[in-house]
Structures are given as C-alpha cells and as structure tokens.
Homo-oligomer: A and B are copies of this chain.
Amino acid sequence: MKRLTKEDLKGWKTKREDDTSEQLASVKEIIRRVRAEGDTAVRTYTETFDGASLDDYRVTSEEMSDAYESISQKYIDVIQEAAINIRRFHEKQLPTSWFDTQENGTMLGQKYTSLDRAGVYVPGGTAAYPSSVMMNIIPAQVAGVKRIVMVTPPGPDGQVPIGVLATAQILGVTEIYKVGGAQAIAALAYGTETVPKVDKITGPGNIFVALAKKEVFGDVDIDMIAGPSEIAVLCDDSARAGEVAADLLSQAEHDERSSSICITTSERIAGEVEEEVEQQLKGLPRREIAEKSIHTYGGIIVTATMEKAVEAVNELAPEHLEVLTENPYEQLGAIRHAGAIFLGPYSSEPVGDYFAGPNHVLPTSGTARFSSPLNVHDFMKKSSVISYSEAAWKENVDKIASFARLEDLEGHARAIEKRKERLDD
C-alpha cells in the first residue's frame, strides 16, 4: 500500500474523472426515444442491450412466488431479520409535522407528506444484491410512499435474479419491471404505457444509469450519483492490524476502483497493516479486484496526532469510516464528514452492509461533505403553512406593502392592501 499525506487526499476524488461524453450522447438519445415512443423504445433497447425479447415486461406474481419458493429458509430468515432491523432504524427517522402558534392568532407550520410514487433501480448481473433491494425499498415504505415501483434488467433469458425477486416478495413489493439501463430511468422519469411516471428515482447502477439519472434530475428527483465504494479506518496503537486489513479488503473487493485508506497515529500499526493486507490478499477469491483496488486507490497515512488524523478523515469525507481507537466515542464529535461511522472493534463495516439497520446507500467520492445516507426524508417533502390572523395582518400590512414597493412589486403591495376593504364593511 502507498504511503500518503493529508495533502494527497485533496485531489483523491478527482483522480477518477473519465470522459463520459460518448456515453452521455447515447443516454440522451435513449431518453429522447423512450419519451417519444414509450414501451416500443423500451422493448427495442431491452432487446439490444440485454438480449431479451419481452412482450410483457412486468414481473408476474407467479414469478415472484416461484423465486420465494426456490430460496432456502436460512436465506429467508436472515433477510427477514435484517429487514426488521432496517425498518426499526428508519422508523426513528420519521419526522412529524409541526406548527407554531402566536398569541395574535397566527399559525406558522411545516407539513410533511410522503411522495406519491418512487422508483427503485436494482442492478442486474453480479451486482444484483438483495441488500440493495432492502436498503432502497424499506425507507420508501416507512415514509409511506403510496406506489413503489422497482426496475431491474433481465438476462438474455428474460429472467431477473431470484434473490432480488425473493427479497422483493418478502418486503411486499408487487410492481417490478424487467428493464434496466438508461431506458429504465427514462421510463420512470417520464412514464410509458406500462411503467408509471414516478417522483423520485433511487438506487445504484452503471455509468449509463448514473448519467441518465443526472439527465432527468429536475423533472424527477434522484438520490446521489454513487461512485465506487470507499472505506477509511481511523486507528491508534490499540487497534489490531489484522482486523484493520480485513476491513480495508472488504471494500477493496467490491470494485477495482474502490478506495481503502488507513489513517493512523501509529507507525507500528501502519507497518503491520501493510503486511497483513498482502498476507490476507493471498487467499481472497476476489483477489484480483482487491489487489488492483488497494494498490491503486488504497493508502496509509501516519499522522503525528489524533487531531491531525481526524482532520485527514474530514478532508477525505469517506463513505464508510471505522474508528478503531481506544475510546472511539471521543473522536465522534470532531468527525464532520463521513457517510456512516462505525465505532469500535465489533463494528466491522459489513455489519452495516446488511444487518445492523442503518442504510448502506451512502455518499461516496467526498460527497459526505454535503449529503446523507439514504433515509426516510428522501421519500418525503415539506410544505410551509402560513395562517395569518387578522391581527397579524393589521399590524404588518403597511410594512409588508412598503417592502414590496422597495422591491418594485406594486402588485404585491396591492394584494395585501386589498384586504383593507374589509375594514370598511
């Protein structure tokens, strides 16, 4: 692993910028055609890109129950237990509408409502993780979204992965379409004869999905564009190098472009982690991926103090952060930017991937500086509520009208003054 300095972290994210103009051009064309031709375009693209020829591309309830029947009880049990944990955590996020009354009779408030319709993208092939289904669907369900639509690309045989279908069945999702790529995003954003137009699209995907989501943003809402997975492990002399290395590799095995960084105050740990990583790499089934990832985007930073180590963490703003220090709660307050923070030796990152309850859809590429894990608020929105009393109006009408005139908006002034006619009645 490379030795890095805090300075190196500043450019860390930008090292992975690719030219995507070619893919963008085809994404735009796909969106244009799906908007214009609806299902016809969706079917054509599914044939071209997925090699599947589908007349009816909605998953049937038979396919769902067949998938459920075909997986083991052990699998069902762990999904169900994880779902309970995830639901419990997300229920804590539920906001409440509030109002603030004033003695003069005015009420000001904020009303929460759920979205009417949400669309969840689930990738196909090797990235078809049942956990992705849970992490996207459950927050939408907890928020109270009325209609949840899932899309996922079919294989050439027209089938979608059994694990994904079974998980959807367990969660009670009933509306799934076999469509992927930019054509799925376009269908969700603008609607077709078959797929309903939704209000928000979430879920990970390849570069075409990511570009399409950015393209339709504004017409519908989207979650953040996800980059490769990342982990940072903040540790002092009390950590065990073997655990640090294993946790770094657990992210490195995701993707050749995943990033795994160890930030430590201990030169000894740094050396041991380097050795452990090489050692543990040897027996890893996804060794090739992990090796490439950890040698290109991995690194170790040794700082003089814990304060400087935390500064480095904040500079990086990692997706996952483990704190393996003597007393991790002591660092929690100074950590400003991280998607999920795992405290102490038993909070190995995979604990959060499936099971503990918090969402695994997290801000990547330093976007933890300004964005959050996927959560119930992502499937709700607020409306301001203003109920001005007669007394409040009387007290303020002249001030408001004069402010409007200062901004040269006479119509605004007249609107509020129009109520003066009531005084004459």
- Residue among B111, B353, B416 making CB contact with A341, cutoff 8 Å: B111
Determine whether the beta carbon of A253 is less than 8 Å from that of B412: yes
What CA separation (Å) do A251 and B369 show in the bound complex? 36
Pick from A111, A362, A421 the residue with the most CB of B within 10 Å.
A111
Residues of A within 8 A of B (CB): 74-75, 78-79, 81-82, 89, 92-93, 98, 100, 106-108, 110-111, 113, 115-116, 126, 129-131, 163, 199-200, 214, 217-218, 220-221, 224-225, 240, 242-243, 246-247, 249-250, 252-254, 280, 284-286, 290, 328-329, 332, 335-359, 362-363, 367-373, 375, 377, 381-390, 392-393, 396, 399-404, 406-416, 418-419, 421-422
In-complex Cβ contact of A111 among B81, B280, B332, B414 (8 A): B332
CA of A345 to CA of B390, assembled, Å:
8
Chain B residue nearest to A115 (CB atoms) is B370
Copies in the assembly, this chain: 2
Closest partner residue, chain B, to A251 (CB atom): B411
For A357, the chain B residues whose CB sits under 8 A away are 108
**Bound CA–CA A349/B416 (angstroms):** 8
Partner of A419, one of B108, B346, B355: B346
A108 contact from B243, B346, B356, B402, Cβ within 8 A: B356
Chain B residue contacts of A351, Cβ below 8 A: 386, 388, 393, 396, 400, 416
Q: Which residues in B have their C-beta under 8 angstroms from that of A396?
A: 351, 355
Known: A217-B214, A243-B419, A415-B247. A341 touches B384 (CB 8 A): yes
Residues of chain B contacted by A400 (CB below 8 angstroms): 350-351, 354-355
Q: How far is the CB of A353 from chain B (nearest CB, A)?
A: 6
Residue of B nearest to A343 (CB): B387
Given contacts A290-B411, A345-B422, A372-B381, 20 further A-B contacts (CB under 8 A): A78-B399, A111-B332, A129-B407, A246-B411, A250-B414, A280-B414, A285-B410, A332-B385, A335-B383, A346-B388, A346-B392, A347-B387, A350-B416, A351-B400, A353-B412, A354-B400, A358-B385, A368-B381, A373-B382, A377-B377
CB distance from A132 to the nearest CB of B (A): 9
A159 to chain B, nearest CB (A): 18
Write out the residue numbers on chain B whose beta carbons fall within 8 Å of the beta carbon of A406: 75, 130, 163
A384 touches B358 (CB 8 A): yes
